[in-house]
């Protein structure tokens, strides 16, 4: 955890500097609504260098540079150097550095850090989850009616997913009008873990967006599955999370939609 938090804090310091001068950053378009900036690349380089130095041989799966195989096949870092790039570019301080660690196919540690608010969410398998060094737990709400539910909107490119999302959104809205689209999946999951949001779902999501957050939610006492109630969130690019009751109600609503 020390290695991860140190690397994330260093990358976060760079992002905070770049956020202060965001209008000078060069932006490239990867796809509809999908951007990358020098800030993403710099943060990714920092994470790659720091983590490689501390744990030589571990592999990487990174948003901007893709997969880098390591000599140690049992460990993989899942890295999103800047989750919430659109928020960042629009001066909205809801973005995060997200680092998850997979060991022998299991997600075992996660760190999500929002440099703008200096909020650090960390968890290690079997050791609980912490928000700024204080233990965090998922919320205790039991019904969708009283819940705040976060979601993600699939990219325009996945037009079929879009239609599916609209149906799901209507079904969830019929049970709770209290819906948020924060724009940073790692923070959606961190907020579920901290009990700020009661549930979250998204289709078309990438492993680096959710690997760390999955550990946070589980260690905070919550449930995370794919949308078929299995544990293939990373390969199916679909996720549903929440406290036990809200996860069950949300998944049930989505599957009937």
Binding-site residues, please?
A: 63, 80, 82-83, 209
Please, which of residues 198-227 interact with ligand IPD by CB under 6 A? 202, 205-206, 209
CA angle at 230 for the pair 247 and 203, rounded to the nearest 5°: 70
Distances from the Cα of 41 to the Cαs of 15, 22, 48, 92, 240, in angstroms? 10, 14, 10, 19, 29
Which x/- pattern over 172-191 shows residues binding ligand IPD (rule: CB under 6 A)?
-----------xxx------
Is 46 one of the binding residues for ligand IPD (CB under 6 A)? no
Return d(Cα 88, Cα 37) in angstroms, integer. 10
Which x/- pattern over 67-106 shows residues binding ligand IPD (rule: CB under 6 A)?
-------------x--xxx---------------------
140/159 with CB nearer ligand IPD: 159
Hey, what are 57's tokens?
């041989």
- CA 49 to chain CA centroid, Å, is 22
Is 110 one of the binding residues for ligand IPD (CB under 6 A)? no
Please, which of residues 124-163 interact with ligand IPD by CB under 6 A? 152
**Within the chain, where are the H helices?**
2-20, 38-54, 85-89, 159-173, 185-193, 207-219, 233-236, 244-256
Question: Count residues contacting ligand IPD (CB under 6 A)?
Answer: 13
Residue nearest to ligand IPD (CB): 152
Contact footprint for ligand IPD (CB under 6 A): 63, 80, 83-85, 152, 183-185, 202, 205-206, 209
């Amino acid at each position: 955890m020390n290695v991860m938090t140190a690397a994330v804090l260093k990358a976060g310091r760079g992002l905070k500097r770049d956020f202060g001068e965001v209008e000078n950053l060069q932006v490239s378009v990867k796809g509809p609504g999908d951007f990358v900036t020098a800030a993403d690349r710099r943060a990714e380089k920092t994470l790659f260098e720091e983590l490689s130095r501390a744990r030589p041989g571990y592999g990487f799966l990174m948003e901007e540079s893709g997969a880098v195989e390591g000599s140690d096949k049992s460990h993989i870092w899942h890295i999103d150097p800047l989750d919430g790039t659109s928020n960042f570019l629009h001066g909205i301080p809801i973005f995060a550095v997200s680092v998850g660690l997979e060991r022998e196919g299991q997600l075992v540690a996660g760190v999500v850090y929002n440099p703008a608010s200096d909020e650090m969410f960390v968890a290690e398998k079997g050791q609980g989850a912490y928000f700024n060094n204080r233990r965090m737990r998922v919320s205790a709400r039991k019904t969708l009616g009283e819940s705040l539910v976060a979601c993600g909107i699939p990219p325009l490119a996945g037009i079929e997913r879009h239609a599916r999302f609209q149906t799901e959104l209507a079904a969830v809205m019929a049970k709770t009008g209290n819906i948020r689209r924060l724009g940073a999946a790692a923070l959606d999951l961190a907020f579920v873990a901290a009990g700020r949001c009661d549930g979250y779902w998204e289709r078309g999501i990438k492993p680096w967006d959710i690997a760390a957050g999955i550990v946070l939610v589980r260690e905070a006492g919550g449930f995370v599955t794919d949308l078929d109630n299995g544990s293939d969130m990373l390969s199916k690019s679909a996720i549903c999370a929440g406290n036990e009751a809200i996860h069950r109600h949300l998944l049930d609503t989505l599957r009937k939609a």
